[in-house]
Amino acid sequence: MKILFVAAECSPFVKVGGLADVIGSLPQALRKRRNVDLKVIIPLYRSIPESFRAKMRPIGRFYLELGARKRVFVGLKSLQHDRIDYVFVDSPEFFRNRKNTYGEPDDALRFTYFQKAAIEALDLLQFEPDVIHVHDWHTAMIPLLLKTKYERHRFVKSVLTIHNLAYQGIFPIQQYLPFNMDFDYRFEFDGYLNFMKAGIVSADVVTTVSPTYAKEILTDYFGYGMQKLLKLRGDSLKGILNGLSYEEFAPQTDKWIAKTYDIDTFNEGKLANKEALYRRLNADFETPSMLIGMVTRLVAQKGLDLVKRVFDEILTYDNVKFVVLGDGDPEYVQFFKDLAVRHEQKMRIVVGYDNQLAHMIYAASDLFLMPSKFEPCGLGQLIALKYGALPLVRETGGLVDTVKPYNEFDKTGNGFSFSHYNAHDMMHVIRYALSVHQNDPFAWDTLVRRAMGEDFSWHRSAQDYADLYKQLKRKKRE
C-alpha cells in the first residue's frame, strides 16, 4: 500500500504548530506496519536547519505551468530520516528565499505552486500512491486537482485532515484570477478563494484530529461557515484522535529534565524538577506549593481571556505558583509580563519557545492549565498526562476525548475540567484541584498514577488510518 503525505510543515525540519508534530509522528507509526510504502512531501523552507540541508540529495527538476506563466522551476531534493523518505520541493522564488513559513503576501500563489508541484513530482519520483493524505488548507486543493486537472492520477484516492478549521486559506479571488489558473467554482466560497472548501467538497474522506471536534464543526459556532458542507459529507467525515510520540515525551528517559522518574517515583521526580526549574527561572519559590504550568501560544483560542479575568485573584489569595512559556499576541504577552511583575513571588513568564524549558515545565508542574475556547485535539494535555502534570481543561474538542474529570465519589478521572467558557467556573475548578492536592494526597497520587498510565501513543490512531487507507484502496480497485 503506497501512501503519500503532503503538508506545509513537518517536525523536526520546520515547525509552526501542532501540524508539524503530526506529520513528524504519524508516518513513523505507520511505517511500523507491514506493507506500507510511505513518502512525505513538504516545501524546502529557508528555516530548515543546515544540518538537514547538508544531507539532502537532488533527485531532479522540472517546470510546471502556473497560469500565464508557462515554465516555473521546481527542484526536488530527498532525505531519508528515521527510515522515512522525505521529499522537499525547492523553489528559490516561493520558499527557499522567503523569511516566513506562512504569512507572505502571495500565499495563495505559493501554496498553489506547492500543491501542483507535489502532484507533478509523482512522475519524477516514479511513485503512484494509492492514497494521498493532505493536511489543512495549504494542501486542500490537491483532491480537487486530482479529479479535474490530472487525468493520469484520477484513480488516486485522497484524505483531507482538518487540524484547525479556523484557518481555511481564504484569499481575494482577484489575487488568483490574474494567473488564469483554471478557476473552478469549487474553489470559491462567499466570493473568496477558499482552499479548505475545495478539499472538503472533493476529498474522498475528510478527517479531523479528534472525535469530538468532528461533531463540533457541524455546528454554527465551530463550523466557520463550513458546517453545512461538512454535514453533506455524512459518513465520509471521521474523527481520529491524534497521538503522542512517547519516544520524545517520556519522563523515564527525558534528556531535558533534571531527574527522570516513572509512575512509582514521580513524587521525588517532581520535587527535583521543581527545584531545577525554579533555579533556571531565578525564582525563590517554595517547592511544596502546587505549581500550575502553561506551555501555549498566547492567542485568544487558548482561553487566555479567562486567565486575564481571575488570575490576579488566584495569585493573591491561593497557595499556588504559576509558570508560563509562550509567545503570540502582544496583548497577552504584555498581560502576563505585568502579572509576573505584580506577583513576583509566585509567577514567572518566559516569552518565546524553548524546547528544554517546555520539558522542564511539564516535569515540574502539578497542574497543567488549558482553558481553550476551542481545541481540535491538543498536544499539551497529552504530554501533561504522561508527565503526571494533571490537566485542567475546558471541555471542548480533543480535550473532552482525553481528559476525564476527577470524581471524588467513585475516585475516577485523570484530571480536572469545566464546561462553560467562564472565568469563575475555571477558578472554582482550580481551587477544587488545589484542595485535593493539599488535603487528600492519596487521591492526588492516585490521579497522577492513572494519568501517567494512560496510553495516547500513535499506535491506535495509526491503525485507524491504516484501516481507512485499506478501505480506500479497495474502492480504488472497484
| Domain residue limits, the chain | 2-243+459-477, 266-455
pLDDT at 67 over 90: no
CA quadruple 20, 43, 202, 120: dihedral sign: negative
Mean pLDDT along residues 320-328: 97
pLDDT at 254 over 90: yes
pLDDT at 396 over 70: yes
Mean pLDDT along residues 224-251: 95
Which pLDDT band holds residue 174 (cuts at 50, 70, 90)? Answer: confident
Mean pLDDT along residues 213-218: 97
- DSSP bridge pairs for 66: 69
Coil/strand/helix, residue 208: strand
Q: Could you tell me which residue, 177 or 420, shows the higher pLDDT?
A: 420
pLDDT at 149: 86
Least confident of 102-106, 217-221, 280-284, 359-363: 102-106
**225-245: string of b/e by CB count within 10 Å (b at 16+)?**
ebbeebeeeeeebbbbbbbbb
Mean pLDDT along residues 309-331: 97
Q: Do domains 2-243+459-477 and 266-455 have the same CATH topology?
A: yes
Mean pLDDT along residues 164-179: 81
% of the chain exceeding 90 in pLDDT:
85
Which pLDDT band holds residue 176 (cuts at 50, 70, 90)? Answer: low
pLDDT at 181 over 60: no
Asked whether 393 and 374 are in contact (CB, 8 A), the reply is no
pLDDT at 179 over 60: no
- DSSP bridge pairs for 72: 64
Phi, psi of 407 (to 5 degrees): -115, 110
- DSSP bridge pairs for 394: 418
pLDDT at 41 over 90: yes
Quote the CA–CA distance of 419 and 10 in Å, as a whole number.
33
pLDDT at 191: 83
* CATH number corresponding to 266-455: 3.40.50.2000
Which pLDDT band holds residue 251 (cuts at 50, 70, 90)? Answer: very high
pLDDT at 119: 97
pLDDT at 399 over 80: yes
Which pLDDT band holds residue 148 (cuts at 50, 70, 90)? Answer: confident
Asked whether 25 and 38 are in contact (CB, 8 A), the reply is no
Mean pLDDT along residues 391-415: 96
pLDDT at 182: 58
pLDDT at 66 over 90: no
Quote the CA–CA distance of 116 and 118 in Å, as a whole number.
5
Distance of CA 29 to the CA centre of its chain: 16
**Is the pTM here over 0.85, yes or no?**
yes
Which CATH topology does 2-243+459-477 take? Rossmann fold (3.40.50)
pLDDT at 58: 97
pLDDT at 214 over 80: yes
Mean pLDDT along residues 6-35: 91
Average pLDDT over the chain, rounded to whole? 94
Q: How many of the other CB atoms lie within 10 Å of CB of 154?
A: 10
pLDDT at 189: 87
Q: What pLDDT, in 10s, does the model give residues 106-125? A: 999 999 999 999 999 999 99
Mean pLDDT along residues 291-311: 97
Which pLDDT band holds residue 478 (cuts at 50, 70, 90)? Answer: low
pLDDT at 291 over 80: yes
pLDDT at 282: 96
Mean pLDDT along residues 123-145: 96
pLDDT at 180 over 70: no
Mean pLDDT along residues 396-410: 96
Which pLDDT band holds residue 421 (cuts at 50, 70, 90)? Answer: very high
Quote the CA–CA distance of 133 and 131 in Å, as a whole number.
6
Q: Could you tell me which residue, 402 or 353, shows the higher pLDDT?
A: 402
- DSSP bridge pairs for 368: 293, 391
Q: For residue 97, count CB atoms less than 10 angstroms from its CB and return exposed for 0-12, middle for 13-18, buried for 19 or more.
A: exposed
